[in-house]
Amino acid sequence: MSDILEVRGISVSFDGFKAINNLSFSIGQNELRAIIGPNGAGKTTLMDIITGKTKPDIGDIRWGKNNISLIKKSETQIAQLGVGRKFQKPTVLEYQTVEENLMISLKNSRGFIQTLIYKYTEEEFTRVNEVAKLIKLNKILNKIAGELSHGQKQWLEIGMLLAQDPSLLLVDEPAAGMTNSERTNTATLLKELSKTRSVVVVEHDMDFIRQLNCKVTVLHEGSVLAEGNLDHVSKDNKVIEVYLGR
């Protein structure tokens, strides 16, 4: 299994505080990975660094078969290379309909002249319907996104990422604020998605991670503390000390 993303010894500090400290790990092709860690372990900062929002002080990030470095690239370029990101707080276009949200995310023209004269094709409408069905919003395509429930917004955002068709999906706390049945559905959806692309899930909720049934990376104070399946890491003494045993 070749790696789609390789993080090599990155560090970043804010005003002297080391948020990420010599962190290395890699994500394989079509792998589902969970990242856990206590508050302030650097989970969201790691997401920021991969997507180009924050620049690391040292270290390198390599992407895809051709080992492209992501360090010098902008958020836009990284997204165009195929990294999709779901934010912690559900981030959808509140004043546009579910359909418009999905249409805008579709993988097509990104230049401004093209978008000015762009006409959606039949296939794209079909694709939007497929995605809407997958996220169970196909009956309310014309509803304004701001009127959706919290869980539905989370799903819509995942749907937007699907329409964008990235090869790596970064998902920040997808189960936050969801009911139990919504959680189960989300876990099933993420597992389904990881069949065709790599998915990285940052999560607090242990039950949710158990449902994902995948390799887990434990972060602590900006570096990798342990890695393995959930049962393995939960037996690790260091992990128990800093995280589980609190």
> Residue 54 interacts with another protein (CB under 8 A)?
no
Q: Which amino acid is at 212?
A: L
Task: Return the residue of 24, 57, 69, 110 that touches another protein, per CB under 8 A.
Answer: 110
Length of the chain: 246
Interaction pattern, residues 71-90, with another protein; x per rule: CB under 8 A: ---xxx--xx---xx-x---
Sign of CA dihedral 45, 50, 51, 57: positive
Contact 25, 224 (CB under 8 A): yes
Phi-psi region of 52 (alpha: psi -120 to 50; beta: other; left: phi over 0): left
Within residues 113-142, the interface with another protein by CB under 8 A covers: 115-118, 120
| Nearer to another protein among residue 33 and residue 85 (C-beta) | 85
Smaller CB separation from another protein, 77 or 149: 77
- Burial of residue 150 (number of CB atoms within 10 Å: 0-12, 13-18, 19+): middle
Closest to another protein by CB, 29 vs 91, is: 91
Residues that bind another protein (CB under 8 A): 51, 74-76, 79-80, 84-85, 87, 91-96, 100, 103-105, 109-110, 112, 115-118, 120, 160, 164
